[in-house]
Structure 1
């Protein structure tokens, strides 16, 4: 600067927006600044409405978090809500944010601030504008990956906010309503497929196979249309091929990923959460079992903990990670874990060691299996068979397959007989006719098919089986001793009960020597001896033996064990048969209270106890109370079973007998 020019000093304070610093000006200066867009204004791109979009009965509050498994339609529902609100004039500002990261959110907020103010701004500028305006607005934050991404970035009160996310973390709640979005209902899935591909008789089967998941239905419909095939043909391919192969050539409705890929990122994120590396193997175990409900105790069993290499607390936290990412649903009241069947399928497709997963799941199921009614466990064992039964047959049959059959037998004898016969054929083919598991399956076929209806035929079958067991297993094998017990029990039911009871005492002597006094087979033999003594008319000896057996059963099995309860039935009946009907009534009242506590009011064992109570009330001379109790029982059975059920017919006959 020449010495003769005056000095120049520039200063600028509290300036925002676009600034141009100019030195010496010779002429005009033109500044093209940002300009504020007027309302109504849309910022961001709202996803297009999916073809064959289905309206869903989901109400959205002013501040709502739509949570759910990837593919249930959260984004589409949010987009529909946004467009409907815009079209109705309910909002004058609509901001759609692809919220896949914190950087993406702040960038979108800055863009909105610039459009609203006409100046460069940042996230804070946008949030301040929202807090100060009286104009109605809606901000949609789509596909939030982590609650922490929204720290300090939640839109203020005064407007409407919709968040879509796979997360369920408590941090997402606050003053917001959390809506857990589920899959399509059967009717919604049917309507979707009808609109997408037209009428098809197998559309419902296709929807069921895909678990009514909207994303899967859309991609399946595209696959069907691309290849000009039917739903039945799709199902055949779906059964035979890996899920990834079943993707259409071009993804429909602006989908960014296939069904399997949609979930893979969620699984990775869950597995990276604390405790690290636990979520994925837990999902592996869950994918081998029943999608509709897996007992929580399975995941905290020793086999699973050993598989994971963690303690029970970490296993529960691992399930929590899966739940927070909507990959499973924890039901604390039912103590169950649910998982979508298609997610199970995708997980199984990615297994690298199916044998280990299947056998760990089987070991866990067996360890957690409770005594008594266990329908949930039976359903899980059946699902395990479907997921990989071949891995349950190696050098032997996995015990869970026998436990499943015993569980079936507790409710449906004929179904159990068919199941054990199938097991016998499989064992003979895989292990050979003389393998202990093949012989055990043969035994269980006779026990469930022949023994209940034709003890004479059962005795003949047991005799033939016993010869094979003596030859291959030896006289002291536990299964050989069990067959001897069942053989003499059947003979006692068809002939000289006293002689059969004496023969059973010989079996008991051998069992005590080989197995010890507390083995379940020893207790079973003692039960059979009581039954045969009672059949032979030696009620006093039967009652004495039953009383001692009951004390031992309560000590060994516990007072709530089903077998202990059955022994209490025998003890109560024997009191009545010895002439003490009043004592029998007292015993049944106590037994009934315990069965209701353990089983529930409408369990068949509870109804059986109520029928026995009615019988002994009448024998004790209290016919009026007997009729009252019988009428109540009849009403309960009709309510649950219907008027034509055989149990209802028997109870009605009992009531009519009391009326005479």
Structure 2
């Protein structure tokens, strides 16, 4: 080349050369080869500065791949979602794989891409990491340059050229294409960039999002969930076997459960065990240690398996950050933090929308906003919107239609969230969660399923944050959960619960702390309810000395202990002693609390009741009649305690021989309880029980049988099959079935009931002994 002074300076898009020529002809001669090769050039006589721009390149030959497909995981598990994916895009169309981070969406898409590409089913494969709009445009633009002669200097135009090229055209060669848009972080990034529907093309997107915008226009949304137990165990087994490691199946099943069947967690845990040489049992022990974090129990970033680039502990951090920026701004993170303290299997929406929960959200928003002076009031609808944001990013599952278990959170998302909290916030958050549970716990538990869910959430809270719930004293939610167990009729479970709570109170608060004494009180109470009245009386006598020394003789808790001691003495067979003890206590409470105090009135009723149990039935009727007047004046005619007194008065009238009067009184009481308390209230059910009983005592055995059969249906629905009152209703149904002329049916029913009573109440419980005696009667 004449006069050439040096090499051309070239980039991907331009070439610049400085060429010295003596004339135009030399210039043309020097550059002719470049011109003929498709470059545009500008010529000047003399020293020539020539700008060379590369023209459109020839389209790449098929088959052609753009982008790098992630390798298959070491122990990839074929799953039902893969078959749904294939079915969704059969013959053209798009599948959107959505689910929480770590469930294996990318692996499913990668397996499909590898299979179809290696099987010769594709002419063009495009894999794009679609974390933002720029990345999508860049990937499309590269495809446009390589396949459509697009101008690489105009990425937006090149991307649209490629999308237009994908549309089917009559007479053109049919290109079989597959586009994978992996990890779409925001559906808005794909506005105008979704691949077209084509009979010759297929598309797959993976995302953690759940917006409605993902569906429609030929797109099929497929939810990707956790591994099944079998899939999880197969994954662990094959991953370990690849390193010549083998573990007992029961340990693999347990580890899969510990990790919530999450594919990412299983993969990283396996790598950690292999690298550290730990066996499954030892690793599980470390995993259960609250002092260890997920960061400590999973591989470091450089040691992650399967080309993974995010450690488990950070797998959801970007999603949480994005959620916190969405409307309502600043509420998603504190809502997730609160949910992380509760039961992963189901949190009632009422708990997360309670006053303590809203105060927690408001406080966090105020901290986030700084001292701007704005109002930070949070409304219940704001809490719901925060839950919806978390749901949209697959950080929780929010199903408002199932209110009792409206929110579910994977246990590892919960753990990662808790471990990210500053230590000073962990305790405050635990107490807030306890406050939220107490705030929605009903005084009267009419929905046994709801009560069980509240107890499960309390158990989870106590497991996640045991220490804060005892500082500076026992949190009320611990007592409420124990009372709930007893109210549900789970007497054995209640006794075990209070035994464990008492031991924790001794360790955390000391033996003389009022809360420790309260746990002793409830433990002893349920000891008596389990049938050990003698042991309970002795324990209450000891507790009375303790409370008198620590609290004083006039403290309300000391007086409550005296009442329970008197009651258990009566249950142990000393009705006269119980009546005398309650009479003494009545004088004491009248002096300390006054004659109209609710506790004084309760004691007045106890005196009347135990007087009747000691044989003075007429005295019991008179005493309850007097108490009824007193309670009506102080509390009003519709107060539950006034209604209870009417029930006691009716009972003792019946015991005094006035069956007709008892039936009439119970019938009137039932009408009032239905009006005041509703049909499902336990006291309403008790009134129905008593009406049925006295109908039978009046000779209408058929009606009594029918009434008890109807009552049993409601007891089963409201209280469950193992509640003592349900067992009592079954006992009465069997009795009146026999009285109505079916002794064989009665014997059979009592035999079944005895088995259940021994299982629920134990062989020595008074009710079990009554059932045993009734069975013997009807068998003979």
Q: TM class, shorter-chain normalised?
A: 0.7 to 0.9
Is the counterpart of residue 51 in structure 1 residue 42 in structure 2?
A: no
Structure-to-structure mapping, 1:321-336, within 5 angstroms = 321-335=389-403, 336=406
How many positions carry a matched residue from both structures?
A: 629
Q: Which residue pairs with 2:428 in the alignment?
A: 356
Equivalent position of 2:549 in the other structure: 471
- 1:339 and 2:398 equivalent? no
Residues 474/424 of structure 1: CA separation in 2 closer, same or farther (3 Å cut): same
Match of 1:291 in 2: 344
Tell me if 1:480 matches 2:480.
Answer: no
Contact 2:106–2:183 (Cα < 8 Å) also in 1 = yes
Tell me the alpha carbon deviations over residues 31-71 of structure 1, each in whole angstroms, 9 at most, x when there is no partner: 87422235554332222221111111121323332222110
The answer (yes or no) to whether the contact 2:58–2:149 under 8 Å persists in 1 is yes
- Alpha-carbon distance between aligned partners in 1 of 2:315 and 2:263, rounded to the nearest angstrom: 13
- Give runs of aligned pairs for residues 477-556 of structure 1, distance below 5 A: 477-493=555-571, 494-496=574-576, 498-500=579-581, 502-503=583-584, 505-506=586-587, 508-510=589-591, 512-513=593-594, 517=597, 525=603, 528-529=606-607, 531-532=609-610, 535=613, 536-537=616-617, 538-539=620-621, 541-542=623-624, 545=627
Of 246, 250, 264, which residue of structure 1 is paired with 2:297?
Answer: 246
Aligned pair partner of 2:456 in 379, 387, 402: 379
Q: Please point out which of 100, 103, 106 is paired with 1:72.
A: 103
**CA distance in 1: counterparts of 2:349 and 2:493, whole angstroms:** 28
Residue 172 (structure 2) pairs with residue 138 (structure 1): no
The reply on whether 1:98 has 2:176 as its aligned counterpart is: no
Contact 1:75 / 1:143 at 8 angstroms: preserved in 2?
Answer: yes
Question: Who is 1:11 aligned against?
Answer: none
Correspondence for 1:448: 526
Which residue of structure 2 lines up, in the alignment, with residue 20 of structure 1? 40
The question of 1:405 aligning with 2:482 is answered yes
- Name the residue aligned to 2:263: 214
* TM-score computed with the length of structure 2 as normaliser: 0.71
In 2, the alpha carbon distance for the partners of 1:508 and 1:30 equals 103
| Alpha carbons of structure 1 residues 268 and 657: separation in structure 2 relative to 1, 3 Å | same
Aligned to 1:320: 388
Q: Distance in 2 between matches of 1:43 and 1:619?
A: 88
* Cα pair 1:588 1:612 within 8 Å, conserved: no
Counterpart for residue 502 of structure 2: 424
Structure 1 unaligned blocks of 5 or more: 6-17
Pair 1:457–1:30, CA change in 2 (3 A): closer
Distance in structure 2 (CA, Å) of the matches to 1:564 and 1:221: 65
Deviates more, 1:201-210 or 1:248-257: 248-257
SS in 2 for 1:348: helix
Q: Once the 2 structures are TM-superposed, how far is the Cα of residue 164 of structure 1 from its aligned partner? A: 1.2
Corresponding residue of 1:311:
378
Measured at CA, do residues 157 and 513 of structure 1 come closer, stay the same or move farther in structure 2, by a change above 3 Å? farther
Q: 1:612 to 1:84 in 2, by over 3 A?
A: farther
Match of 2:161 among 112, 115, 125: 125
1:391 paired to 2:468: yes
- Equivalence for 1:223: 272
Which position in structure 2 is the counterpart of 1:462? 540
Deviations 1:510-559 (A, max 9, x none): 57439x746xx5675466456435535234644774698699889998x7
How far 1:392 moved relative to its partner?
A: 1.8
CA contact (8 A) 2:537 2:568 kept: yes
Q: 1:557-636 alignment to 2 at 5 Å?
A: 578-580=658-660, 581=663, 584=666, 598=680, 615-628=693-706
Measured in 1, the distance between the counterparts of 2:40 and 2:210 equals: 48
Deviation of 1:416 after TM superposition, in Å, equals 2.1
Distance 1:507 1:381, change over 3 A: farther
Query: Partner of 1:439: helix, strand, or coil?
Result: helix
Q: C-alpha displacement at 1:448, in angstroms?
A: 1.0
Question: Alpha-carbon deviation of 1:379?
Answer: 1.1
Other-structure match for 1:8: none
Q: 1:263 aligns with which of 312, 316, 319?
A: 316
| In 2, Cα distance between equivalents of 1:524 and 1:97 | 74
Greater Cα radius of gyration, structure 1 or 2: 2
1:337 offset after TM fit, Å?
Answer: 1.6
1:568 and 1:591 in contact (8 A); partners too: no
Q: Residue 396 of structure 1 contacts residue 431 of structure 1 at CA under 8 Å; is this kept in 2?
A: yes
Q: State how far apart, in whole Å, the 2-side matches of 1:31 and 1:350 are.
A: 52
1:109–1:122 contact (8 Å) kept in structure 2: yes
- 2:236 aligned to 179, 193, 197, which one? 193
Q: 1:237-273 CA deviation, whole Å, 9 max, x = no partner?
A: 2233211012225111121111111111112222222
Q: Flag the 1:227–1:427 CA change in 2: closer, same or farther, 3 A.
A: closer
TM-score normalised to structure 1 length:
0.83
Which residue does 2:442 correspond to in 1? 370
Q: Does structure 1 retain, via aligned residues, the 8 Å contact 2:273–2:283?
A: yes
Report SS of the residue matched to 1:211: coil
Asked if 2 retains the 8 angstrom alpha-carbon contact of 1:585 and 1:616, the reply is no
